[in-house]
Every structure is written in structure tokens, then in C-alpha cells.
Structure 1
Amino acid sequence: MAQSVVETCEICNQALGIDFCEECEQTFCNHCKLMHLRMKISRNHTFKNVDHEEVKLNLCDQHNLGYILYCEKCNSLACKTCIIENHKGHELEDINIAKISELQVEVSEKLESYSKEIHEGSRNSPLLMKDQMKNHEKACKKAIEEINCRSNAIKSCVDKIVDSYTTQILQKEENQNRKANAYIDAIENLVENLYKIKREYWTILDKRSGVALLKSLQKFQKDNNNLDLEIPVVPSLGQTLAARNRCKCSVFDMTVGLFDDYNFD
């Protein structure tokens, strides 16, 4: 609180004012206070130190003097110094019970108006807010159920897709193995037949000669002229590769796209 450098007694205007008379609403030095209490008319007056919180309410914030008049134009209390410095030519009036009551009524009416306005505005607000909370709770519960339901559906679809791809890949693997084994068996049979013919040829060469050899070779040539010794074509087993570029977004983003959008305002 701002105070003047000189806080003089309002009675003698010389000594320092240190006590405040609640009945007279003036500051007194110690000497004037004692004289004041000796007078019959004021012997029962009560004093408080000027630093007391209740006393400060009765003193001018700027000059630390008691308020004596009220300025209607400025709507403020004024001490004797304020009157000279700040309220020249203003209409001033006494601080009486009527003025205090008038202000009290004005403040009371404003408070009552605020109270009524707040009461009217907030009468149903808690109930409405509780209803909104219940509705929001239901909406959140429904959203969670929908998300879980969609999640289970997606998981089921993923399981079916995995089973389908797995079955297709295993079937392809089985078919390719069958083709590969058939080729291997054909090569092995071809080699075995070739060795069998060669052994027969070597036997003829080993056991016969002259006319007998010639006749046996003619018969051998005739018997083996139509042999199917063609080398089978190597089958193409193909490849099992994933089409990586089907979707350029991440698996996470692609999965998020399978769910509905939710606003979390």
C-alpha cells in the first residue's frame, strides 16, 4: 500500500500519527491520543495501530489519512489531502449511513443478479453434463465394440487368406515335386535302358565272331532300331514370389485403412 513520507497526527499536525480512533476515524500521535482519552466525551473511544488491517481500510492508500468525504464524480473516498490534490471543483458529500447503505444495496443487487443469472444458467447444466457423459460413455463403448468386432473379422479374414495361400503354395510344391521326380525317374530309366543295351552289345562282341557276329549285330540293330532313347525335356518348376509392389503403403497404414475413422474431440 502506498503511503506518504510524512504521516502526521491529524490533531496537532506535528507528531507522527501512529494510532487510529475508530469512532472519530482520525489518526493520533501518542500525546494527542492520551489527551483524547482524558476527555469525557471520548474516554471510551477505541484505538488501533495504523498498521492494523482493519485500520488500513479506513485510511487513504496514498496519504495514510482518514477518509472524510465522498466524491460522487470519481466514485471514490477522499481524505483532506485528496480533496486538494484530486477533487478540486468536484461535488463532495459526507460519508454517512445513507451513502453506505446506498452502496450496500447496489452491491447486494448486483450480487443477487449475478447469483440469479448463474443459478438460471447452471440449473440444468450438471444434469445435461451427466447425460452427455452417459451418452459419451455409450458411444465410446459402442466404438470399442465395433473396433473389436472389426478386429476379429480382419483376423478371421487374415487367417483364411493365410490358409488359402498356404494350401496353394503346398499344392504347387507338390505338383512341382511330382514333375521333378517324374523327370528324374525318366532320366534314370533312360540310363538304365542304355546300359542294358550296351551290356547286350558287349556280350555279343565277347561271345561271337565271324559270320555269327555279323548275324548277331544285324539282329541287334534290328531289335534296337526303334528304341525310344530320346532325352526328356527338363521341366520348368517356376518360382513362388510375392508381389511386393501391390500396395506401396506400410502394412500398418494398410491395416488402419480397414477400420472406420473416429473423431476424438
Structure 2
Amino acid sequence: MAQSASKSCDICMRGPGHNYCEQCDQWLCENCKTLHLRSKISRNHTFLSGQNINPEEKLLCTEHDKNFIFYCNACDIPICKLCIVKKHKQHDTSEINESTQELQSELKKMIDSKMKCIRTNLDKIEQGTGCYQTAVKEAIRTITEEGNQIKLWIDKKVQALIKSLEEQETTSLQALQSIRTKFENDMEMLKKCQNNFAESETITDATKRLKELKLIKSQLDVAAGKQSMVIPTVKYNKKNVSERELIYLFGDISFREIVYSVEQTPKKDTRYLLY
């Protein structure tokens, strides 16, 4: 491999070799460079030009110690100009620079496509995260609102039951008091009749005694007779409501799980072996 740009052209050996062919590892003058680029086999070669060129060290064919100029697509390996004649003449080959450019183009498209896909997914996550958090807050608000409504209904029912019980208690107590007062009045009358009956026994005159007894009887007729008394009772008939039945009053939460799948690009058996 040439080490400086001050030597003569490696082709014609006459002109100054100021142009370095990266594929052939040769220094060419301007005229040979033009002819080199007109050739079908080397038209895609690239050159370094200038006074201070320091070509990078290249991998060479281990069998012929020549630069890799072609690429054998059948064997999937780079080959030199002697390899193509001796071992790969019937194989599908291409100029290595052309293969490199094709692969570069393919990789660039692949990188751009994958980056675009990732950016789309990142944007989707960014937007979806906000929407998801908003949905969670809305669900919490709805659950809380529903729970408070059920609590309100329960409290309202409890108050209605208590009010009904208290109103019935007042009515029953008033009725009992009225009956009690009547019985107390009758008791006073009966005590008077009892006293009058005792005094009547001291009357010796039968006519007067009979008259007194009839008067006592008329008073007893006014007083309440034997009555059956029913005392009011109250009992709360509790329902055996389970926690599960109470839970059924609430709605359900539906979830959509995260679905994430990675689409793998089929791998080609590409070796890119360099000897």
C-alpha cells in the first residue's frame, strides 16, 4: 500500500500520483483517474485527492495479498481481482463499493424506519399516559360519587325508619295515656261505689237500702266493664343482607391491559467474512 501522495502514478508510471483509489490501493494521475472511472468495473470507485493523504490501512486478500475489489454474493465474502478469475468466475458478483453503498442505503432506511417507529410509540406513550391517568381520575371520581349516593340513600332510609318509629311511638303513648286516664277515673268512681256499698250495709231500713243499692248499681253501669287490653309492640324485621349483595349495587371496573409486541426482522445469513 502506498504511504504518501508524492510518488508517481502506479498505472502509467509517468504522471504525479495525486489521486488515491481506495478500492485498488493505487495512486493515479489525473488522466489515469479519468480512465479508471470510465471503466465499467471501477466506475464506482472512490478517490482521495490532495497533498497530505494518509490512506487508512486496509484488509487484504490473505491468499493473493490484493485489495478486495468485488463481493461474491453466492459465497457472501469479499474477493480480490484474482479470486474472481480463479475461484468465483461463475458466481454472482458485484463491485464491493456498489455492495457497500447498497448495504449502507439499506441500513440507513432500516435505522430511519425503526427510529420513526420508536418515535411514534414514544409519542403514543406520552399521549396515552396522560389519557390513562385522566381515565383513572374519572373512574375514581365516579366510584366516589356512586358510593356517596348509596350512602345518602342508606342514611335517608335509616332516618325514614327512625322517624316512622318515633312517630308511631308518640301516637301509641298518647293512646295509652288516654286509656290510662279513663281507667284511673273509673277507679276513682269504683272506690266511691265501694265506700257507698259499705255504708249501705249499715242502713237498717230495707227500702232505703234498696234505693241506695240501685244508685250504686247505676254508677257501676257507667263505669267500664271487663275489657281486654292489648299493649302495642314493635319489632324491626332485619334483612340478612350480605356484603356481596351490597357490592352488587356498585358497577364494575373494566381494564384493557397493555399489549406490547416486538416485530423481529428476519435475520439473513450474512457473514461478511474478511480475510
Give the TM-score normalised by structure 1.
0.51
1:153-172 map, 5 Å: 153-172=149-168
Q: CA contact under 8 A between 1:183 and 1:235: conserved in structure 2?
A: no
Residue 250 (structure 1) aligns with: 242
Q: Is structure 2 residue 104 aligned with structure 1 residue 117?
A: no
Q: CA contact under 8 A between 1:183 and 1:232: conserved in structure 2?
A: no
What is the distance in 1 between the residues matched to 2:230 and 2:136?
60
1:43-62 map, 5 Å: none
Q: For residue 214 of structure 1, report the CA deviation from its aligned partner.
A: 4.0
Deviations along 1:96-155, one digit per CA (max 9) or x if unpaired, are: xx9999998787666545423311322322112111111112222222222222233223
Q: Is structure 2 residue 228 aligned with structure 1 residue 237?
A: no
Q: Is structure 2 residue 222 aligned with structure 1 residue 227?
A: yes
What is the distance in 2 between the residues matched to 1:232 and 1:182?
15
Q: Is structure 2 residue 260 aligned with structure 1 residue 260?
A: no
Q: CA contact under 8 A between 1:204 and 1:216: conserved in structure 2?
A: yes
**Matching residue within 179, 184, 188 for 2:184:** 188
Comparing 169-178 with 112-121, which one deviates more in the overlay? 112-121
What is the distance in 1 between the residues matched to 2:176 and 2:75?
110
Residue 37 (structure 2) aligns with: none
What is the distance in 1 between the residues matched to 2:194 and 2:239?
53
Residue 215 (structure 1) aligns with: 208
Deviations along 1:188-218, one digit per CA (max 9) or x if unpaired, are: 333332222011111222x422x2x542333
Q: Is structure 2 residue 117 aligned with structure 1 residue 126?
A: no
| CA-based RMSD | 3.8
Q: Is structure 2 residue 166 aligned with structure 1 residue 173?
A: no
How many residues matched? 175
Deviations along 1:29-52, one digit per CA (max 9) or x if unpaired, are: xxxxxxxxxxxxxxxxxxxxxxxx
Greater helix share, structure number: 1
Q: CA contact under 8 A between 1:176 and 1:237: conserved in structure 2?
A: yes
Give the TM-score normalised by structure 2.
0.50
Q: Please, which runs of 5 or more residues in structure 1 have no aligned partner?
A: 1-66, 77-90, 93-97
Report the 3-state secondary structure (helix = DSSP H, G, I; strand = E; otherwise coil) of the residue aligned with 1:191. helix
Report the 3-state secondary structure (helix = DSSP H, G, I; strand = E; otherwise coil) of the residue aligned with 1:231. coil
Q: Please, which runs of 5 or more residues in structure 2 have no aligned partner?
A: 1-61, 64-72, 78-86, 89-93, 257-275
Q: CA contact under 8 A between 1:187 and 1:231: conserved in structure 2?
A: no
What is the distance in 2 between the residues matched to 1:193 and 1:173?
30
